[in-house]
């Protein structure tokens, strides 16, 4: 299977004041996913994206008691839409504002909007690998039954599935890449896949992921894509992230921290 057409931009702008330290970051990509299934048993599945990446993160130490720190993570998806006058482009943006509660002085923190991509795959998926061309392996953490979230919660895999984390390498320079994910299934059958983009959060002694697209607390809340074996390419379109006609939406989430 060949999947995914993506253009992605990660931009980070640091804002600081005596009361707060906040960073803004985001990504933009096309809405289409192109899938192809190859083989009959085992089936080899590949998913490819072509991101334009500028990795950034914000890190520091609070300077006084009561300081609030955070990060703004914006995702923009560009949709092709058909109007009465012909084809048009609709860009929708979803902003997740992440903020801590007031923290003690000298609390270290590191926030990164380009956290791991959490994939939910069939439990019998094997040989998961990811690379960024030119031929640079990406870190894959698998298989997992759950990953840590804020306030001691966990994002858990559904029955008969597994979670895999695909981590962008921070040592790669900014630029254009082609990223490929591959895995195998024992037979050619329809299967469901979910994906959740996250921010990496370190605050004091707390280490966890914060879902940002979608901003969910359960994997079942993320859209599921059913991919059926086929010799022809199948085009899937991501769901609207703002609703039918809107172009911008924002939510706020509270980050946990263990001083």
This prediction has a pTM of: 0.85
CA distance 129 to 184: 10
Query: What is the spatial distance between Cα 225 and Cα 1, in angstroms, rounded to a whole number?
Result: 14
Question: What is the span of the domain harbouring residue 91?
Answer: 11-255
| CB neighbour list of residue 162: distance below 8 Å, 6 or more residues apart | 120, 121, 122, 123, 125, 142, 143, 144, 145
C-alpha torsion sign, points 127, 44, 116, 119: negative
Residues facing residue 57 across a β-bridge: none
User: How does DSSP classify residue 31?
Assistant: S
What is the phi/psi pair of residue 220, to 5°?
A: -65, -15
pLDDT of 225 over the 90 cut = no
**79: nearest Cα among 68, 90, 64:** 90
Q: For residue 88, is it within any domain?
A: yes
d(CA 233, CA 197): 25
Please indicate, yes or no, if residue 6 is contained in any of the structural domains. Answer: no
Is 52 inside a domain boundary?
A: yes
Mean pLDDT of 141-156: 95
Q: Which residue has the higher pLDDT, 242 or 83?
A: 242
How remote is the C-alpha of 84 from its chain's centroid? Answer: 34
Question: How far from 143 is each of 40, 211, 232, CA to CA, in Å?
Answer: 24, 19, 30
| Count of residues making up the chain | 259
Give the Cα separation of 259 and 49 in Å (integer). 38
231-255 pLDDT tens trace: 777 777 888 888 767 799 999 999 9
Question: In this structure, is residue 3 part of a structural domain?
Answer: no
pLDDT over 70, % of the chain: 86
**Total number of domains constituting the chain:** 1
Provide the H-helix boundaries in 22-132.
none
Distance between CA atoms of 40 and 47, rounded to whole angstroms?
Answer: 18
**39 lies in some domain:** yes
Residue 236 CA to residue 37 CA, distance in Å, equals 14
Q: Provide the pLDDT for residue 14.
A: 24
Which residue has tokens 């994997």? Answer: 219
Average pLDDT, the chain: 83
Query: What are phi and psi for residue 76, nearest 5 degrees?
Result: -120, 130
pLDDT in tens, 2-59: 333 333 332 222 222 223 345 455 676 777 777 778 887 789 887 877 666 656 789 9
Q: Is 1 part of a structural domain of the chain? A: no
Domain membership flag for residue 61: yes
pLDDT at residue number 256 = 96
Asked, for residue 234, whether it belongs to a domain, the answer is yes
């Amino acid at each position: 299977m060949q999947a995914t057409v993506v253009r992605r931009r990660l931009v980070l702008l640091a804002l600081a004041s005596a009361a707060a330290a906040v960073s803004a970051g985001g990504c933009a990509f096309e809405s289409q996913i192109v899938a192809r299934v190859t083989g009959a048993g085992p089936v080899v599945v590949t998913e490819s994206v072509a991101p334009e990446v500028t990795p950034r993160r914000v890190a520091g130490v609070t300077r006084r008691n009561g300081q609030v720190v955070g990060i703004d993570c914006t995702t923009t998806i560009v949709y092709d839409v058909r109007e009465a006058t012909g084809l048009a482009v609709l860009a929708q943006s979803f902003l997740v504002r992440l903020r801590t509660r007031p923290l003690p002085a000298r609390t270290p923190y590191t926030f990164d909007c380009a956290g791991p991509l959490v994939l939910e795959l069939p439990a019998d998926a094997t040989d998961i690998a990811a690379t960024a061309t030119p031929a640079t392996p990406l870190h894959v953490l698998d298989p997992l039954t759950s990953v840590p979230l804020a306030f001691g919660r966990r994002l858990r895999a559904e029955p008969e599935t597994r979670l895999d984390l695909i981590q962008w390498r921070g040592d790669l320079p900014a630029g254009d890449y082609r990223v490929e994910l591959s895995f195998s299934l024992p037979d050619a059958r329809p299967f469901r896949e979910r994906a959740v983009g996250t921010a990496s959060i370190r605050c004091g002694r707390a280490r966890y992921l914060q879902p940002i697209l979608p901003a969910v607390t359960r994997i079942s809340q993320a859209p599921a894509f059913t991919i059926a074996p086929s010799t022809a390419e199948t085009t899937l379109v991501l769901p609207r992230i703002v609703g039918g006609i809107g172009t911008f939406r924002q939510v706020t989430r509270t980050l946990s921290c263990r001083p």
